[in-house]
Amino acid sequence: MFHWLEKNPFFFAVGVFLTIAFAGAVTILPNFAQSAQPIKGLKPYTVLQLAGRGVYIKDNCLSCHSQLIRPFKAETDRYGQYSLSGEYAYDRPFLWGSRRIGPDLHRVGNYRTPDWHANHMWEPTSVVPGSVMPAYKHQFTNIADVETAYAEAVTVKTAFNVPYGDDIKPGRAAFDAYYKAKVLPAALKIAKQMKNKDLIAQVQAGKIPEVVALVAYLDRLK
């Protein structure tokens, strides 16, 4: 059999291709099923965190930061535990990134505090001398799009069975009630941790600056 294959390179190539394809399928396909399952204890992003994730995308943070720690000692020593596929179960889209002009942020919530983030976003060089990151002062006055984040939560709950509670449901009245009961208290907690009186005052007035939502999202990355 093998002697015949050696004399017929076309069929030999087809045989090699089929063997490799089968081995690859056996190795890869089970991982797809595993990756769809969230790791134990993982919770969906809150509406405030989703709004902050929207700011992260809008201001193109992923052009300079990754959210994917590879299983190499040099990376785990610097950034912490390497990333697991199940950690991204609620990420739509993934924000892995492809460049690291700045550090990886997948575990940033473990070693940076909200007040550090506040100073960093206002003036990066005040906490990281020589930083090339631009200041994002507009985030302190721009208001986060919480309504779109809420609509996203409703959509993924319905379409992808993301386990949100019964208080996440369609309708303006439902959004208004959720905003007052859940989003504003969470935003006020973050604003107080950021130790910025202007931000606290804005949240107390019912408005959530983009930077508060963004920091809520970054604090979630652990």
**pLDDT, tens digit (0-9, with 9 covering 90-100), for 150-209:** 999 999 999 999 999 999 999 999 999 999 999 999 999 999 999 999 999 999 999 999
pLDDT digits (tens, 9 = 90+) for 39-68: 999 999 999 999 999 999 999 999 999 999
Same domain, 124 and 60: yes
End-to-end CA distance of the chain: 56
For the chain, the domain total comes to: 2
Lowest mean pLDDT among 20-29, 102-111, 121-130, 136-145: 20-29
Distance CA 210, CA 114 (A): 13
Q: What is the reported pLDDT for 106?
A: 98
Lowest mean pLDDT among 6-10, 37-41, 99-103, 177-181: 6-10
Same domain, 57 and 30: no
Domain of residue 200, CATH code:
1.10.760.10
Same domain, 16 and 66: no
Same domain, 113 and 215: yes
**pTM of the model as a whole:** 0.84
Cα R_g (the chain), whole angstroms: 23
Same domain, 30 and 89: no
CB atoms within 10 A of CB 100: 12
Domain interval for residue 216: 47-220
Same domain, 51 and 12: no
Same domain, 26 and 70: no
